[in-house]
Amino acid sequence: MKAETSITPSVPAMARRALLGMAAVALLAGTSLPAHAQDAAANYPNKMIRIIVPNPPGGTSDVLGRLLGKELGDAFKQTVIVENKAGGNGHIGAAFVAKSAPDGYTLLLLDMSVLTIGPSVVTQLTYNPEKDLAPIAIPAYSPHLLVVRKDLPVKNIDELAAYARKSGKPVSFGTPLASISQLAGILLAQNRGFEFNVIGYKGGSQALADLSGGQIDSAMASVVATNQLVQGGKVKAIAVTSAKPFAATPGVPTVASQIPDFVTGSWQGLLAPANTPPAVLDKLQAAVQRIVTQPEFAKHLQDLGSEPSPMNRQQIAEWMRAESQRWGKVVKDNNIKAE
């Protein structure tokens, strides 16, 4: 069965609309907002801000949160702390923020796949990602890299598909179960007419360690997680899932060049509780956009293997709905369940 891959709008199209939207916000700021909204933005922030990261320290969200928190603290002249609330595959921390006071002082930073896949694979979420959280910005996007063991005789996804068909046995694919990487791998394999033998892991780092050691054939994870292994010659990159060639992975072909609109990856999003005043959300969005375009911060992102997304708040909300529908179909068609 072939799953559809064209539900989500292309990143370039979204980017163009985002830039227009941001320009409109800039023109209107301070002239057409109600007085109470202007007051909310003018007085914000006047106390400490917490950024909740629903993962253990040291991961991509944690590293980004601390970089972003420092810059926000400098911009707002307020203390910004990062607090790790791990557990429940990210949902414990996300639910905590969803139920926090909607005042802009408790924010959430996480891989957005927690929110776009969660409703499809977790039967009893205690919050609704679309209704209970308000997107602010996506300060970092890192596409997936499809990587294979270094001695696998393939250089691209067509050769991988041909190898899988010729060998007569499925290519092993290591991934955390019910994750964005598993769903992306399934979608890619179905489109190219071959099958992955999915090997479940508790974390992506464990799958990559086994791939480096030659115990499995392939894996898919963010450029942030994989690029150092590629550069060190421990694994081989054969495709990247960005809409266009990605700066951190020169020479690696995009999946989208063969499967139109196949764009996946780790979208690190900053969100607030729903009903946070729009003027406060706008102020946060503008601050993040200024930070991620600063040359030093942009270099930090590039060194990590990521880049900022120009989507504005409304576009992120639309993207979340589209992604939820896209992955919900893959989950249903393939009977994927969380452990």
In 122-168, DSSP assigns E strands to 133-149
pLDDT beneath 70, residues of the chain: 1-38, 40, 339
Cross-strand pairs, 147: 219, 237
Work out whether strand 106-111 and strand 49-53 pair parallel, antiparallel, or are unpaired: parallel
DSSP state of 312: -
pTM of the model: 0.85
Strand partners, 53: 84
Q: Where are the alpha helices (DSSP H) in 193-294?
A: 204-212, 223-231, 278-292
CA distances from 122 to 128, 301, 337 (A): 11, 31, 7
pLDDT of residue 32: 47
Spatial separation of the C-alpha atoms in residues 284 and 51, rounded to whole Å: 12
What burial class does residue 227 get, using C-beta atoms within 10 Å of its C-beta: 0-12 exposed, 13-18 middle, 19+ buried? buried
Task: Tell me the C-alpha to C-alpha distance, in Å, between residue 295 and each of 105, 292, 298.
Answer: 27, 8, 5
Cα end-to-end distance, the chain, whole Å:
24
CA atoms within 13 A on the CB side of 319: 28
Q: Which domains does the chain have, with CATH numbers?
A: 11-142+266-334 (3.40.190.150), 143-257 (3.40.190.10)
Tokens of residue 264, six digits: 């996946």
Cα separation, 161 vs 245, in Å, equals: 21
Q: Is the peptide bond before 45 cis (omega within 30 degrees of 0)?
A: yes
For the record, the structure tokens of 96 come out as: 């905590």
Q: What is the predicted pLDDT for the residue at 90?
A: 93
**How many angstroms separate the CA atoms of 133 and 110, rounded?**
12
- Region for residue 178 given its phi and psi (left: phi exceeds 0; alpha: psi -120 to 50; beta: otherwise): left
Q: What percent of the chain has pLDDT over 90?
A: 79
- The 8-class DSSP code of residue 216 comes to S
Contact 188, 175 (CB under 8 A): no
- What backbone phi and psi angles, to 5 degrees, belong to 4? -70, 145
Report the candidate in 55, 97, 51, 84 with the shortest Cα–Cα distance to residue 70.
51
What is the tens place of the pLDDT at every residue in 251-291? Answer: 999 999 999 999 999 999 999 999 999 999 999 999 999 99
Residue 244 has a pLDDT of: 95
pLDDT at position 35 = 57
Residue 42 confidence (pLDDT): 85
Q: Please name which of 43, 84, 36, 77 lies closest in space to residue 60, comparing C-alpha atoms.
A: 84
The C-alpha atoms of residue 176 and residue 12 are separated, in whole angstroms, by 29
The region, left, alpha or beta by phi > 0 then psi within -120 to 50, assigned to residue 240 is beta
Largest separation between any pair of C-alpha atoms in the chain = 69
What pLDDT is recorded for position 36? 58
Question: For the residues of 68-85, what is the DSSP string, one character each?
Answer: HHHHHHHHHTS-EEEEE-
The pLDDT value given to residue 34: 56
Q: Are 222 and 142 in contact (CB under 8 A)?
A: yes
